[in-house]
Chains A and B, each alone.
Chain A
Amino acid sequence: MLFVELLSNLLLLTGGFFYLAGTVGLLRFPDVYTRLHTLSKADNLGLGCLLAGLALKADSLVLALKLLAIWPLTLIASAVVGYAIAHRADRLGIPAWQREKP
């Protein structure tokens, strides 16, 4: 029981870490494409860890399954919205950021 509790808390903290990394990336990365990368990858992994951690704390199996069912939905959402935003940015003629040559 203690082990499950520990694992659950570890997953929650890992989730928080990925959310933090996503926000830091959003603040630091140079253009809309790179920012999209952080949001669609780091934040989704953060949510996945969070849901797994909470599922371990759930009172019943069915509640745990319900928590885990949220993850694929947000994955679909960020995959399609991420593509749509990148596509639109490309259509608007926003160039990909490049490091200046020294």
Chain B
Amino acid sequence: MGLFIASLLRRTVGFALIWWIAAEGSLVAWPLAVIAVAASVAVSLRLLPPGKASAISVIGLAGFLGYFIRQSMLGGFQVARLALQRRPQLHPAILAVPLTLPQGLPRMLLTGTLGLMPGTLGVRLEDEFLHMHVLDRGMPITEEVEQLAAHIARLFGVQR
């Protein structure tokens, strides 16, 4: 019961914050805001019951976001450099790496974020392997995937 109330409060604050940003701080339509926030909280509690969502750790999230933003900037720089080179130094290949994360959201997040990171793009999730397209075979791809997987495992608090 304590868990339920805590997550009810957290989500109410979260959705109220989203409303506040979307309405640019204006409180003119506050009755509408109350209805919208209440409905959003009800739907979210229905679709994602408390307990599952509380497994996400705040420290893990901060670590993941920091790593992700740094890496996606590197990815942008790398691709810009390749595009503007006189003769693009592309050495593409499709590689398969073994997956250590559990099925579901963790794997989906891994595949999605890899597409925004330097030189990698998920192509196919199959059984226990992720097939990806890489821009440069010479890059330490496996290490990058491992690092990202470690951040995601910490985010969800799962064992690998």
Residues on A lying within 8 angstroms of B by beta carbon are 17-18, 21-22, 24-25, 28-31, 33-34, 36-38, 40-42, 44-46, 60, 62-63, 65-66, 69, 75-76, 78-80, 82-83, 86-87, 89-90, 96-99
Contacts and interface: CB of A to CB of B under 8 A. Distances in A.
Closest 3 CB pairs of A and B: A45-B76, A25-B83, A21-B80
Nearest to B22: A66
Contact of B122 (A17, A29, A83): A83
Interface string B70-97: 0011011111101110001011111000
Interface stretch (B33-41, B53-61, B111-119, B148-156): B111-119
B79 A21 contact: yes
Contacts of A79: 112-113, 115-116
A37 B79 contact: yes
A45 B73 contact: yes
Contacts, number: 117
Contact of B76 (A42, A97, A99): A42
A66 B24 contact: yes
A85 to B, nearest CB: 10
Interface residues of B, number: 36
A44 B116 contact: yes
Given A34-B90, A86-B122, A97-B92, A17 B113 contact: no
A28 B133 CA distance: 18
B80 A18 contact: yes
Nearest to A91: B124
Pick the most buried of A17, A60, A79, A96: most chain B CB atoms within 10 A of its CB. A79
B27 to A, nearest CB: 12
21 contacts: A21-B79, A21-B80, A22-B83, A28-B88, A29-B88, A30-B90, A33-B121, A33-B133, A40-B116, A40-B121, A41-B75, A41-B118, A45-B77, A46-B76, A62-B24, A78-B116, A79-B113, A79-B116, A83-B112, A97-B92, A98-B92
